[in-house]
Structure 1
Amino acid sequence: MAGGWSKDGAVQDQIDASVEDEVKRARSQLGSGESALHCDECGCDIPEARRKAIPGVRLCIACQSALEKQETNAGGINRRGSKDSQLR
């Protein structure tokens, strides 16, 4: 049920758009090409199993984990529109 100026299914459209955006972001971060033998950040060896599992890998596990943790803390797009979430 829609209320006000919103059309029926508007909430589902927002959910679908959020999922689609996240899938696009994740696909854009997939590596391609030849993997590095040594980490671009710290210079440690990248294990052969990791190089085979992830094409185009450039970081060791420790550096990749630190990068992902930093990206997670960066926040994201607020599609909810509630005042509480906008005040953070």
Structure 2
Amino acid sequence: MAGGWSNDGAVQEQIDSTIEDAVQRARSQLPSGESLTHCEVCDARIPEARRQAVPGVRLCVVCQGADDQQQKASAGYNRRGSKDSQLR
């Protein structure tokens, strides 16, 4: 049920668009290409098991953990400014 100036499917369209953006962002961050033998941040050796498990890996486990923490800290920002995000 929409009210005001929005059409009937506006809320669902916003939800779908937010999910599509998140999926595209996640896919763009997937490693691709050949795995590195040394971390591109700290130059530590990347174990063979990690290189086989994650094709295209560019970071060692420690640097990947730090990168994941940074990504988590910036996640949750809704640039569309939905009412749901304003209630949190």
Which blocks of at least 5 consecutive residues in structure 1 are unaligned? none
Find out whether 1:68 has 2:68 as its counterpart.
yes
* Residue in 1 that maps onto 2:4: 4
Q: What is the CA distance between 1:10 and its match in structure 2?
A: 1.0
Same amino acid, percent of matched pairs: 57
Q: What is the CA distance between 1:39 and its match in structure 2?
A: 0.9
Q: What is the CA distance between 1:44 and its match in structure 2?
A: 1.6
* Residue in 2 that maps onto 1:41: 41
Q: What is the CA distance between 1:81 and its match in structure 2?
A: 3.3
* Residue in 2 that maps onto 1:32: 32
Find out whether 1:59 has 2:55 as its counterpart.
no
CA distance in 2, matches of 1:17, 1:44: 39
Aligned CA RMSD, in angstroms, stands at 2.0
CA distance in 1, matches of 2:62, 2:8: 46
TM-score by length of 2: 0.82
Superposed structure 1 runs of 4+ greater than 3 Å apart: none
TM-score by length of 1: 0.82
